[in-house]
């Protein structure tokens, strides 16, 4: 079965949170979406949010090169091409652990997922986008406001999100000859399971704990769709979407 009438997206981390919201937003607006994530059951739940949508759940661990290649092969086999990669899969790692106590295995898991996984998916997308007809496509990397300023005890997550900014810039430059547009969305306090604790209290830079406002994840999804639906001659290089009153800009 193929569907060549709509734009084709690959969304990683599609089984929950931002990835689920973006996948549903795209499906509701006529996109076909390959849903990637580590748990098949949650991917099926995402697909069921838009029963009439063209969704393809593909169980994928983005830190494994062979699984990433299988994901993109499945997407092209089903839909014929890849127009968009939303590089969203990520993990914060163990919360509240000082750097001197962070196990190397935990550091490596965050790096393998957030950075190596993003590279592997971008590489696979590049290979398809360069060869398909018409050529080109778009990659949107999910950064974070941690790509600008860290939270306490977030060394692995923050380091990978800073690295994603470099990845975005390099991919954007290298994609120019092939009609591949690459941008990044940095998100602050979208209401998901990952941020649920912020409404009751989050550790602040001064050592205190304070509740923080969050925003509807649907606002993030609409922003990603706007970026995705621009013509390839236009690109949102960097966008920051955050809860208006969160303690980020200035001194908190």
Is residue 157 flagged as an active site residue? Answer: yes
| 226 burial level (CB within 10 Å; 0-12, 13-18, 19+) | exposed
Sheet arrangement for strand 137-142: 54-59, 32-37, 8-12, 84-87, 137-142, 180-188, 238-242
Helix (H) or strand (E) holding 18: helix 17-28
Taking the alpha carbons of 161, 163, 168, 169 in that order, is the dihedral positive or negative?
A: positive
Contact 217, 178 (CB under 8 A): no
Phi first, then psi, for residue 209 (nearest 5°) are -120, 130
Question: Annotated catalytic residue: which of 104, 126, 157, 248?
Answer: 157
Is residue 95 classed as helix, strand or coil in its secondary structure?
Answer: coil
Q: Which two tokens stand for residue 11?
A: 């969304």
Is residue 85 classed as helix, strand or coil in its secondary structure?
Answer: strand
Taking the alpha carbons of 197, 154, 238, 70 in that order, is the dihedral positive or negative?
A: negative
CA proximity to 107, closest of 92, 126, 96, 122:
92
Write out the catalytic residue numbers: 157
């Amino acid at each position: 079965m193929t569907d060549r009438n709509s734009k084709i997206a690959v969304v990683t981390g599609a089984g929950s949170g931002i990835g689920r919201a973006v996948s549903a937003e795209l499906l509701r607006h006529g996109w076909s979406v390959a849903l990637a994530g580590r748990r098949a059951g949650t991917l099926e739940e995402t697909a069921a949010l838009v029963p009439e949508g063209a969704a393809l759940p593909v169980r994928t661990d983005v830190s494994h090169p062979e699984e990433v290649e299988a994901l993109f092969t499945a997407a092209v086999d089903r839909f014929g091409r890849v127009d968009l990669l939303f590089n969203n899969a990520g993990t914060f790692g163990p919360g509240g652990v000082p750097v001197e106590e962070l196990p190397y295995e935990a550091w490596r898991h965050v790096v393998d997922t957030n950075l190596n996984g993003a590279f592997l998916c971008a590489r696979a997308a590049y290979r398809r986008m360069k060869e398909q007809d018409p050529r080109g496509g778009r990659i949107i990397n999910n950064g974070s406001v941690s790509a600008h300023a860290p939270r306490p005890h977030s060394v692995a997550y923050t380091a990978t999100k800073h690295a994603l900014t470099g990845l975005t810039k390099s991919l954007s430059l290298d994609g120019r000859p092939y009609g591949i547009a690459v941008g990044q969305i940095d998100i602050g306090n979208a209401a998901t399971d990952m941020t649920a604790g912020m409404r009751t209290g989050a550790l602040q830079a001064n050592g205190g704990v304070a509740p923080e406002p969050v925003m509807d994840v649907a606002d993030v999804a609409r922003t990603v769709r706007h970026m995705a639906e621009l013509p390839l001659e236009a690109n949102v290089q960097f966008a920051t979407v955050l809860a208006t009153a969160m303690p980020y800009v200035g001194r908190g």
